[in-house]
């Protein structure tokens, strides 16, 4: 059995979720579009947004000549841009990654309290202890971790590369200590036959997709394909026709001949899916409810903190919205991040070929 679950690490019971945006706040954001656009231009900033930010934020990003992508592409874009002011609309690990790769640039975020439940599931002191219990294992940290955790890792990886890295390390005979997502860890073990010591963290959004309810939706839509992000539970992943990162899901939907898809990832991706495929139908995969109410409803509460109102505040007062990573941590975290970016480039160029 190549999967070994780790216990005895601190996983929050609930995550102290931020308040949801009200309808009034959402409407206000729409009225701030032109002001935000003018400020981005005036400050000569590059706006980089994740697919899980609001449709208004993604539209702004397009209008401002910014970039929308998955977490791997966002990291690359932050590193390669020649702009000195980068605005990351996403969650904190995405901003930190940009800062680690480009310390000379000012990297700001609309709201610095935009967390990620996976990041909150992995405390660096726990990781140091577990690492010392498995000195033979290669530490692979998901990008959804703090800079301090990244500094403890041999490799960083995003969802778009996780299985490939698992296969690569297996080919070298290296067991993996994987943090922090339990579902992606088990998917890597399953797909690559890697020996994986797996952290028990979870994404509150993807963990809620529900396999039995998905079966019903599949039966009602026998002509639909099921596209799933690998942070979803194994029983949901097993029912998928395709498993991939946000960008990979988008690319699959675009190139497929199928006209109907059931999507198991954060619901703001529907904006780009419907722009890219206006002739295709996208259906939300069902989520389970907890204690009688839905905790995320496939909508990340931390991503939602990226309002245009906060973005305007950040651009007007960059110093109070800037990411700061301790230099000794940054230098250590840079190595595994660069390894990931080089690995990705080597896979693309054919320098690394996997079986
Ligand atoms: P991607 O790497 O697919 O963009 O995923 C990031 C993320 O936070 C998923 O919840
Ligand atoms: Fe983190 Fe999940 Fe939100 Fe992605 S969707 S940022 S993994 S909490």
pLDDT, residue 99, reads: 96
- pLDDT band (50, 70, 90) for residue 296: confident
Sign of CA dihedral 270, 113, 315, 26: positive
Task: Tell me the per-residue pLDDT of 122-156, one tens digit each, with 9 for 90 and over.
Answer: 999 999 999 999 999 999 999 999 999 999 999 99
pLDDT, residue 40, reads: 98
Q: 64 in helix, strand or coil?
A: coil
Task: Tell me the per-residue pLDDT of 9-39, one tens digit each, with 9 for 90 and over.
Answer: 999 988 999 999 999 999 999 999 999 999 9
Mutation test residue for ligand 1: of 231, 232, 263, 298, the one with most atoms within 8 Å of CB: 231
Token look-up 């963290």 returns: 201
pLDDT, residue 292, reads: 64
Token look-up 């900033």 returns: 45
Task: Tell me the per-residue pLDDT of 91-129, one tens digit each, with 9 for 90 and over.
Answer: 999 999 999 999 999 999 999 999 999 999 999 999 999
Phi, psi values for residue 71, rounded to 5°: -70, -30
- Residue 269 in contact with ligand 2 by CB distance below 6 A: no
Mutation test residue for ligand 2: of 91, 94, 158, 296, the one with most atoms within 8 Å of CB: 91
- Residue 68 in contact with ligand 1 by CB distance below 6 A: no
| CA of residue 243 to ligand 1 center, whole Å | 12
Mutation test residue for ligand 2: of 70, 118, 295, the one with most atoms within 8 Å of CB: 118
Task: Tell me the per-residue pLDDT of 67-85, one tens digit each, with 9 for 90 and over.
Answer: 999 998 998 998 999 999 9
pLDDT, residue 294, reads: 75
Protein residue with its CA nearest to atom 7 in ligand 1: 71
Question: Rounded to an integer, what distance in angstroms lies between the CA atom of residue 46 and that of residue 32?
Answer: 18
Average pLDDT of span 202-227: 97
Question: Rounded to an integer, what distance in angstroms lies between the CA atom of residue 149 and that of residue 119?
Answer: 9
Q: Give the contacts of 188 (CB within 8 A, at least 6 positions apart).
A: 162, 163, 165, 166, 176, 178, 194, 196
Predicted structure pTM score:
0.96
pLDDT, residue 278, reads: 97
Nearest Cα neighbor of 304 from 99, 67, 29, 66 is: 29
Nearest Cα neighbor of 69 from 61, 193, 334, 34 is: 61
- pLDDT band (50, 70, 90) for residue 345: very high
Protein residue with its CA nearest to atom 1 in ligand 2: 116
């Amino acid at each position: 059995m190549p999967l070994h679950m780790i216990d005895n690490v601190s996983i929050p019971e609930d995550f102290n979720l931020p308040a949801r945006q009200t309808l009034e706040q959402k409407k206000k954001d729409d009225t701030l579009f032109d002001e935000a656009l003018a400020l981005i231009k005036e400050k000569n900033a590059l706006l980089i947004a994740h697919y899980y930010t609001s449709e208004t934020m993604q539209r702004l990003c397009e209008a401002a000549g910014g970039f929308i992508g998955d977490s791997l592409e966002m990291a690359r874009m932050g590193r390669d841009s020649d702009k000195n002011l980068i605005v990351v609309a996403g969650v904190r690990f995405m901003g930190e990654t940009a800062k680690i790769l480009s310390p000379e640039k000012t990297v700001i975020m609309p709201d610095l309290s935009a967390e990620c439940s996976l990041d909150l599931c992995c405390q660096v002191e726990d990781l140091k202890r577990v690492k010392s219990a498995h000195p033979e294992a290669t530490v692979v940290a998901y990008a959804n971790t703090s800079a301090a955790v990244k500094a403890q890792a041999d490799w960083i990886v995003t969802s778009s590369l996780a299985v490939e890295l698992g296969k690569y390390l297996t080919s070298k005979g290296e067991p993996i200590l994987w943090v922090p997502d339990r579902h992606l860890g088990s998917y890597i073990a399953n797909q690559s036959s890697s020996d994986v010591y797996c952290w028990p963290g979870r994404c509150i959004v993807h963990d809620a997709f529900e396999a039995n309810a998905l079966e019903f939706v599949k039966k009602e839509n026998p002509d639909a394909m099921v596209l799933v992000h690998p942070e979803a539970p194994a029983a949901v992943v097993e029912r998928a026709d395709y498993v991939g990162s946000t960008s990979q899901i988008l690319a699959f939907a675009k190139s497929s001949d199928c006209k109907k898809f059931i999507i198991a990832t954060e619901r703001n991706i529907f904006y780009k899916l419907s722009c890219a495929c206006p002739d295709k139908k996208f259906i939300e995969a069902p989520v389970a409810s907890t204690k009688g109410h839905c905790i995320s409803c496939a909508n990340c509460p931390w991503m939602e903190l990226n309002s245009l109102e906060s973005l305007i505040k950040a651009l007007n007062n960059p110093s109070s919205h800037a990411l700061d990573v301790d230099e000794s941590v940054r230098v250590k975290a840079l190595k595994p991040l660069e390894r990931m970016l080089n690995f990705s480039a080597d896979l693309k160029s054919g320098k690394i070929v996997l079986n």
